[in-house]
Homo-oligomer: A and B are copies of this chain.
Amino acid sequence: MSAMRYLLTLSYLGTAYHGWQVQTNARAIQPVVQDAMAELFPERPGLTGCSRTDAGVHAERYYCHFDSDRVVDPYGVICSLNRRLPNDIAVVDCRPVANDFHARYSVTAKEYEYRIYNGRHRDPFTLGRALHYRFPLRVEAMGAAAACFVGRQDFSSFCAGRAKPGDKTRSVFAAEVYRQGDLVIFRVKADGFLYHMVRIMAGTLLRVSEGKLAPGDLPAVLAARDRRAAGPTAPPEGLYLTRVWYENE
């Protein structure tokens, strides 16, 4: 009998974790979910995730696949895993997929949001869940700058030094900045993201709000293909993986 492939959809608050993948001794999402699976799947299948995520980054939706010879009831898997998982990680879906489906390589687009709490004083409800930036943000200027990210471009200026050498061209399908009460949200959709790309974009948009860069400077920042041309890397707590699109969907 051939193995079946299953796709799990997770949702997690990343505060307590060093991202998806095991790195030295740090606590990561992947091994925690794999441990929760051990009772249902004693063969301990490995989980293949849709992307690495940085320490402290959140996921409203995160996808990973695994193979198993067992025929399982997806609803039973969801409930069983949720009983075993810590409160900050939840399984929200489980479904069989084709054997050539791959949680990472079948991705056609991903969407991230960078959330900024823009109230003057500390807010207990968004602490660890948004960057606190106390000075009034110039959302229109930030949106005009974000629009320059759209298109098929080389994003070397928005890639942290630790990234592997290689093609830094990505297609950004949409990028916008909007206010929702005291929250300011930068939302960006692309076919792929470089290391720290969204956080460097967010840090650059903050520089635009501060008047240290003009929206019209963004084409030159991109053309520089130099990390030093862009703004600082915004901290992880504001970043959310919010959607993933797959082939044939």
Known: A87-B127, A127-B87. A121 touches B13 (CB 8 A): no
A117-152 residues with Cβ-Cβ distance < 8 A to B are 119-125, 127, 129
A46-82 residues with Cβ-Cβ distance < 8 A to B are 58, 60, 78, 82
Checking B11, B119, B122 against A124 with a beta-carbon cut-off of 8 angstroms, the contacting residue is: B11
Q: Across the interface, do B123 and A11 meet the contact criterion of CB distance under 8 Å? A: yes
Please tell me if A89 contacts chain B, counting CB pairs below 8 Å.
yes
Please tell me if A12 contacts chain B, counting CB pairs below 8 Å.
yes
A162-198 residues with Cβ-Cβ distance < 8 A to B are none
Please tell me if A103 contacts chain B, counting CB pairs below 8 Å.
no
> Shortest distance in angstroms between A180's beta carbon and chain B's nearest beta carbon?
11
Q: Across the interface, do B82 and A124 meet the contact criterion of CB distance under 8 Å? A: no
What residues of B have a CB within 8 angstroms of the CB of A122 in the complex? 82, 87, 90, 92
Q: Across the interface, do B121 and A90 meet the contact criterion of CB distance under 8 Å? A: yes
* Chain A residues with a Cβ closer than 8 Å to the other chain, count: 23
> Shortest distance in angstroms between A121's beta carbon and chain B's nearest beta carbon?
5
Please tell me if A88 contacts chain B, counting CB pairs below 8 Å.
yes
Q: Across the interface, do B124 and A90 meet the contact criterion of CB distance under 8 Å? A: yes
Please tell me if A91 contacts chain B, counting CB pairs below 8 Å.
yes
Q: Across the interface, do B78 and A92 meet the contact criterion of CB distance under 8 Å? A: no
Q: Across the interface, do A82 and B121 meet the contact criterion of CB distance under 8 Å? A: yes
Distance, CA A161 to CA B192, complexed state (A):
59
Chain B minimum-CB-distance residue to A78: B121
What residues of B have a CB within 8 angstroms of the CB of A11 in the complex? 123-125
What residues of B have a CB within 8 angstroms of the CB of A58 in the complex? 125
> Shortest distance in angstroms between A56's beta carbon and chain B's nearest beta carbon?
14
> Shortest distance in angstroms between A243's beta carbon and chain B's nearest beta carbon?
14
Distance, CA A119 to CA B90, complexed state (A):
12
Q: Across the interface, do B12 and A121 meet the contact criterion of CB distance under 8 Å? A: no
A-B contact pairs, 5 of them (CB 8 A): A78-B121, A82-B122, A91-B121, A92-B119, A92-B120
Beyond A13-B124, A82-B121, A92-B121, 17 additional pairs, beta carbon < 8 A: A11-B123, A11-B124, A11-B125, A58-B125, A60-B125, A82-B122, A87-B122, A87-B127, A88-B127, A90-B121, A91-B121, A92-B119, A92-B120, A92-B122, A92-B123, A93-B121, A125-B129
Q: Give the 4 A-B residue pairs with the shortest CB-CB distance, closest first.
A: A90-B122, A13-B124, A92-B121, A88-B124
